[in-house]
Chains A and B, each alone.
Chain A
Amino acid sequence: MATAAEIEKQAEAREVRNRWLLSAPALIIILLAASGPLLIVLLYSFLTPGPYGDVQWKFSTEGWISVILERDIFDDTLAFASAHLTIFWRSLKLAIMATVATLIFGFPTAYFIATRSERTRDIWLFLITIPFWTNLLIRTFAVLQVIRNEGIINTALLNLGIVDQPIQMLYTDFAIMVGMVYVYLPLMVLPLYASMEKLDFRLVEAGYDLYATRWQVLRRIIFPMVRPGVVAGSILVFIPAIGAYVTPSVLGGGKNMMFANLIELQFGQGRNWPLGAALSITVMAIVMVALLVYVRNTSSSEVRHG
C-alpha cells in the first residue's frame, strides 16, 4: 500500500508531466519556427557563396570577415568595412529617433485616452487601431500623397499664396521621420495606454495636494508608474524600425541604403548569401544585447520606485 508521501510524489510527477505536455505545442513552435530558421541562417553564414547566388557546401569564414573587414578593390589592402558601419549607423540612428519621436507623441496621446471616461476611451482606442487595418505600404504611400510636391500640403500652401514654390518635403530625412512616426505610433500608444489605464490617479491628486508642480508629478509619479509601458512601447517600435526599409525607400528616395537593403543586396544582385546571413546575425546580436541592457537597467530602477 502506498504511503501518503508516495501518492503525493506521484501526483507531483503527474503534474510536472502534464505541465510539460501542455506547454509542448508552444515549445515546439518556438524551437522549430524560431530557432530552426535562425540555425539555417547561422549555418549559411559559414559557407562559401555560389557563383550565381545560393551557397556551396564548403566551410568558410569569409562571410564573417567581410562584415568587419573589406579588401579595397583598388589597392588590395584590408581595411575596416566603413560602408557597412555607415549603413548600420544610419539604421540605428533612425530607429532611435523613431522611438524617441513616437514616445514624445505617444505619451500625451495615451495619457489623454486614459483620462477619458470609460466609454469614450474605447472609441479613442478604436481610432488609434484603425490605421493598422491597412497594409504598411499603403499607409506609406498615403503619407507620400500628402507631402509630395503636388500633394495636399503643397497644393494648399500654393493656393493660399503662402509659398510660390512647392516645398520639397518628399525625399528628405523629414519625410522619413514623418512616415516612421505615423506608421509606428500605435505600437507605442497601445502599451503606454495599458499601463496608464492601471495608474491610480489618486496618487496624482495626492502629489498636487502636496504642492508638487505639474512637471514633478509627471516625472516623479506618473512616469515611474508607467515605465513598463514605456519599455514595452520602445521595444515594439525600435525592433521593426531598425529593420525598416519600405518607409525609408518610398519617402526618402532610396539613395541611401538601410541595413535591411544591404542584407537584401547580398541575397539579390550581390549574390553573396553568406555575407547576407552574417550581416543578419550581426544586427540581431547587437539589437539583442542592447535590449537586454535596456530592459535590465529600466526594470531594476522600477524596483526602487515600486
Chain B
Amino acid sequence: MNLKSMSTAVGLALLASTSIASAAGELNIYNWGNYISPDMIKKFEKQFDVKVTVTDYDSNDTALAKVRQGGTGFDIAMPSQTFIPIWIQEGLIQETNPGQMENFKNVSPEWANPDFDPGRKYSVPWAWGTIGVVVNTDTYKGPADSWGIIFDTPDELKGKVNVVPEMNDVIFAAIKYAGGEQCTEDKAILKKVRDMLVAAKPNWIAMEYNTIEKMGAGDFKATSDWNGSALRQRLANAAIHYNYPKEGYGLWSDNVVVLKEAKNLENAKLFQNFMMDPENAAMNSAFHRYANGIAGSDKFMPADMKEAPEVIIPEAVKAKGELQRLCSPETQALYTKIWTELQK
C-alpha cells in the first residue's frame, strides 16, 4: 500500500467514525408534505439533542414503493391505516411495542387497539380525520349533509363543485351513496356507482387537491375534502361549512411507524413516545389541523380547534363514520377500471 492510498484509507476511516458519532444524534422522518409542526420538531431536537430531517412523500403508494426498495436512510414514516397491514406483512417496520411505552396511557381508548395494528405493536397515532362535503353557504343554503352534493349536484352548485381525486375516497363515497358497503364487489352496486359517477362529472368543475386556496378564492363553491382542510377554509371564510354525509363517511388515521432499516432506532422510539405526550400532540395538531388520538391533548389545543365542528364529530353523526379498510387487490382492480372510465 503506497502512502497516497493509505492516507485515503485513513481519511475514509475517520470520515466513517465521525459519521457514526453524529448518527447517534439524528432522526430521519419520511412524512406527507406540510404535515409536521416545525415548533414541535424544535422541541424534540432540544429535548433529546437530536438533529431531525424531514423528507416529503405525496401518497401512500409512493412511500410504500420507496421504502420497499430499501436504502432510504429513513427511520420513521407515517402510513395510513389502510396501508399499515401491508407494511407489517412485508416486514418493512419494526415491532417497537408502543403499547408498552411510558406515554401509551395517554392514547384515547378508541385508538388504543385498532384493527390495523392490534395491541399497538408497531404504530403510534399521528393524526386522524374524516372525509366529508364542504359547501359555501353563500351559494347553497339547502341541506348539505349528503354525498348528493357531489353525485347529484343541486342546481345552485352545478359547475362549481370540485372533487378531490383520491380514487379510493371517491369510490368509497360513491358506494355509500349507492347504498353499498366499502370494498364491495357487488356488480349491481358497482354498475350503479359507475353510471352515477359518469353522470355526475359534467356538473363538476375540477378534480383537484388544491381546495384550501380555491374554496377561499371562490373558484369552487363545494368540494369533497378532508376535515382539517375544511377547518382552514372556514377560518378564511366563515360561510364555508363542513358536512358529515348521512349515507356514511370515511375515517382515516395516519400513524408513526419505525422502519426495519432504521439506523437511529433509539431516537425513533423516543419520537414515538414523544408523540403520545398530550402537549406535543396538541402542538402538532395546531399545525396540521387534525385531531391526534391522544387524550388530554385538547387542553393544549388552540382556541379555534377546541370546539371546531370539523375536528369534534357531533354525537348525532358519530355512528355514520367508518374506518376505511384496504380492499383486496382484485377489488382494487375493479375500482381502477371504474376510475379510468370516469376520467377518460
Contact = CB atoms under 8 A, between A and B. Distances in A.
Interface of A: 49, 51-54, 70, 73-74, 82-84, 86-87, 148-150, 168, 170-171, 249, 253-257, 261-262, 265-272
A249 B206 CA distance: 9
A255 B64 contact: no
Contacts of A255: 201, 204-207, 343
B344 A83 contact: yes
B217 A150 contact: yes
Nearest to B204: A255
A134 B204 CA distance: 31
Contacts of B166: 269
B61 A53 contact: yes
Given A87-B344, A149-B219, A265-B340, 13 more contacts: A70-B337, A73-B190, A73-B338, A149-B217, A171-B205, A171-B206, A255-B205, A257-B340, A269-B332, A270-B332, A271-B61, A271-B329, A271-B336
B344 A256 contact: yes
B191 interface: yes
Contact of A270 (B187, B205, B336): B336
Contacts of B113: none
Interface centre among B168, B332, B334, by most chain A C-beta atoms within 10 angstroms, is: B332
Contacts of A54: 65, 68
Interface string B57-70: 00101101100100
Contacts of A70: 337
Nearest to A51: B329
B56 interface: no
A149 to B, nearest CB: 6
A46 B344 CA distance: 25
A269 B336 contact: yes
B14 interface: no
A257 B343 contact: yes
Most central of A82, A262, A265 by chain B CB within 10 Å: A265
Interface string B36-75: 0000000000000000000000010110110010000000
B86 interface: yes
Contact of B59 (A84, A87, A261, A268): A268
Interface of B: 59, 61-62, 64-65, 68, 86, 159, 165-168, 187, 190-191, 201, 204-208, 217-219, 329, 332-334, 336-341, 343-344
Contact of A148 (B191, B217, B344): B217
B344 A265 contact: no
A73 B343 contact: no
Contact of A272 (B86, B336, B338, B341): B336
Most buried by A among B166, B191, B217, B329: B329
Residue from the set B166, B341, B344 with the largest chain A CB neighbour count within 10 Å: B344
Given A54-B68, A74-B191, A83-B344, A265 B336 contact: yes
A262 to B, nearest CB: 7
A24 B343 CA distance: 46
Contacts of A148: 217, 219
Contacts of B344: 82-83, 86-87, 256-257
B332 to A, nearest CB: 6
The interface centre, meaning the residue of B64, B65, B159 with most chain A CB atoms within 10 A of its CB, is B65
B61 A269 contact: yes
B97 to A, nearest CB: 25
Contacts of A73: 187, 190, 334, 337-338
Contacts of B62: 268
